[in-house]
Amino acid sequence: MSDREQTYGAIFDMDGTLLDSYHAHRKAWQDTMEELGIDYSSEEFRRHFGQRNEEIIEDIFRGLGRPVPDQSTMQEIADRKESLFRSVVVDDCSEMPGTTGLLNSLHQQGWKLAVGSSAPRANVELALDLLGLKELISTTVCGCDVERGKPEPDVFLKAAERLGLEPSQCLVVEDAPAGIEAAHRAGMPAVAIQCPYQAADLSAADRQVESFDECPEPELRTLIKEHES
């Protein structure tokens, strides 16, 4: 099979990768905490950004010397935060630099595209609608679809399976160290886009960019071939 006849897959994280959602998540967390009588600063959010909801809630309450909520209450707080996020992001939504151009280019070249995110499915579906990307994405895998989240590889392996591809035919696009690790555990190369609001250590990625304009399709194709070899 020639290189052009080979089918490749790209699996994208959502928050901070396709969707510039930093400010919407910050506002949602601050509003959620305000309802609980807790002052939550932008600096605290910056420190927590990229962590799972349960980890953030636990750290906030421990930092205040308050008992950590039980699992049911913690889920209620997390659900409230995500509901507020969806109401905020509708009016504060933008793509990461070059997102639409990259996805259209890959789609035109016959790539299969997926989203692999720890976010709730409602968030992912809303984001794809707001960005106008739904027709380009073949499948989405969310945290509810797998038992183990990143840095375990389950999300990306499930996405490849749903695309009908082997892991060796896929690459991952991420913005967080845990996602990069999950990609490598899945046997896939990782492209990392840097968050403009927080400098994370993305040095483990196979390629780092500040904009998806820096990701021409032939280069991504080469990343997969080199990773496989």
My answer on whether omega of the bond before 151 falls inside 30° of 0, hence cis, is yes
Q: Are 213 and 97 in contact (CB under 8 A)?
A: yes
Q: What is the pLDDT of residue 205?
A: 97
* Contact status, residue 111 vs residue 75, Cβ threshold 8 Å: no
Q: Which amino acid is at 89?
A: V
Q: Where are the domains of the chain?
A: 3-20+94-228, 22-89
pLDDT tens for 126-169 read 999 999 999 999 999 998 899 888 899 999 999 999 999 999 99
Are 115 and 14 in contact by the 8 Å Cβ rule? The answer is: yes
How high is the pLDDT of residue 196?
Answer: 83
Q: Would you tell me which CATH number, out of the four given (1.10.150.240, 3.20.20.10, 3.10.450.50, 1.10.3720.10), belongs to the domain 22-89? A: 1.10.150.240
Mean pLDDT lowest among 3-7, 139-143, 185-189, 225-229:
3-7
What is the distance between the alpha carbons of residues 142 and 122, in angstroms, rounded to a whole number? 10
Pairing relationship of beta strands 139-141 and 112-116 according to DSSP bridges: parallel
pTM reported for the whole predicted model: 0.92
Q: Which helix (H) or strand (E) holds 193?
A: strand 190-193
Q: Which of 3, 13, 175, 213 is catalytic?
A: 13
Nearest 10 degrees: CA dihedral of 65, 67, 69, 70? 150
Tally of CA atoms within 13 A in the half-sphere of 153 that contains its CB: 16
Q: What six digits make up the tokens of 179? A: 């996602």
Instruction: Answer yes or no: 91 catalytic.
Output: no
Please report the pLDDT score of residue 216 as a whole number. Answer: 94
Instruction: Tally the residues of the chain.
Output: 229
> Could you give the CA distance from residue 37 to residue 39 in angstroms, rounded to a whole number?
7
Q: Which pLDDT value is given to residue 4?
A: 55
Question: Tell me: the pLDDT tens digits for 33-64?
Answer: 999 999 999 999 988 887 789 989 999 999 99
Fold assignment, 3-20+94-228:
Rossmann fold (3.40.50)
Q: Do the domains spanning 3-20+94-228 and 22-89 agree at the CATH topology level? A: no
Name the pLDDT band for 27 (thresholds 50, 70, 90): very high
Order of strands across the sheet with 190-193?
A: 139-141, 112-116, 9-12, 170-174, 190-193, 207-209
